[in-house]
């Protein structure tokens, strides 16, 4: 195959654009923040499950405290009624019974109030645990929101860059002979390396050093001959940097 040296050198620019287009596409579809965002989603699920458990414990403690407060209130009301009845009692037996019941109620109220204080402490501890867990969730959400915003911005920028790079490639490709361009694209699709610059005896497509025999053949070739790297099969482009 024959092609002008200029066309062959243009393939290097097209290959660079292809590389940058691939990078932009990866940035558009696989943002750098993606792994951390997914990790945070898992962390948030665990934190939310823990919050649900802590909130349940808090609700249980509040329910128990409410029951104790109700029991204290009922016992106090009954003791106060007995005290009023005792004041008006004229029967010694009735008065003694009321005094016994008042003493019993007083002891019960004291026990209930002790239990109430203990449960109040549990409520405070449970509330503090819920608040701390919610703070963790808020922190996780804030980080996730910031990363998501950055990812969306980066993806949009990558999409814009990719579109511009594709336009640049199309413009360059239009200056290359169709058969040369097709051959380049065929090799790139097949081997992953469509073209390589020969720099000081090294193919930059595969980073392999050409043998003396191969370099001799390259030197003998006409400037418009389309050569191939004997190692990777890429179109071998010669410039003043080739060291020939």
Task: Tell me which DSSP letter residue 221 carries.
Answer: S
- Mean per-residue pLDDT, 231-242: 93
In the chain, % of residues over pLDDT 70: 100
Residue-level pLDDT at 91 = 85
* pLDDT exceeds 80 at position 244: no
Domains of the chain with bracketed CATH = 5-22+177-242 (no CATH), 31-172 (1.10.287.1490)
Residue 2 CB-half CA count within 13 A: 3
Taking each helix axis from N to C end, the angle separating 5-29 and 178-191, rounded to the nearest 10 degrees, works out to 50
Task: State the chain's mean pLDDT as an integer.
Answer: 95
State residue 191's pLDDT score: 84
- The string of pLDDT tens digits covering residues 187-197 is 999 988 999 99
What does the longest C-alpha to C-alpha distance in the chain come to?
137
pTM for this one?
A: 0.73
pLDDT of residue 149: 97
At 222, give phi and psi (nearest 5°).
-70, 155
Any idea of the CA torsion for 69, 72, 75, 76, to the nearest 10 degrees?
-110
Query: Does residue 168 register a pLDDT over 90?
Result: yes
| Confidence check: pLDDT of 89 > 90 | no
pLDDT at 75 over 90: yes
Give the per-residue pLDDT at 14. 97
**pLDDT of the residue at 90:** 82
Predicted local distance difference test score (pLDDT) of residue 92: 87
Distance of CA 1 to the CA centre of its chain: 50
């Amino acid at each position: 195959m024959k092609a002008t040296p200029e066309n062959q050198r243009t393939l290097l620019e097209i290959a660079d654009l292809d590389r940058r287009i691939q990078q932009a596409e990866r940035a558009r579809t696989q943002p750098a923040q993606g792994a951390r965002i997914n990790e945070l989603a898992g962390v948030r699920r665990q934190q939310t499950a823990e919050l649900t458990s802590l909130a349940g414990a808090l609700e249980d403690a509040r329910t128990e405290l409410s029951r104790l407060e109700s029991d204290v209130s009922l016992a106090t009301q009954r003791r106060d009624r007995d005290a009023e009845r005792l004041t008006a009692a004229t029967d010694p037996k009735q008065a003694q019974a009321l005094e016994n019941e008042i003493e019993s109620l007083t002891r019960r109220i004291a026990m209930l109030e002790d239990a109430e204080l203990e449960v109040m402490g549990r409520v405070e501890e449970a509330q503090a645990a819920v608040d701390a867990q919610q703070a963790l969730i808020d922190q996780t959400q804030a980080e996730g929101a910031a990363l998501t915003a950055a990812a969306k911005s980066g993806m949009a920028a990558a999409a814009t860059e990719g579109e511009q790079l594709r336009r640049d490639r199309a413009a360059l490709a239009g200056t290359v002979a169709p058969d040369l361009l097709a051959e380049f694209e065929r090799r790139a699709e097949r081997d992953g390396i469509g073209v390589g610059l020969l720099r000081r005896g090294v193919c930059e497509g595969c980073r392999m050093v050409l043998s003396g025999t191969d370099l001799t053949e390259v030197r003998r070739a006409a400037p418009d001959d389309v050569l191939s790297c004997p190692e990777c099969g890429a179109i071998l482009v010669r410039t003043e940097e080739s060291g020939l």
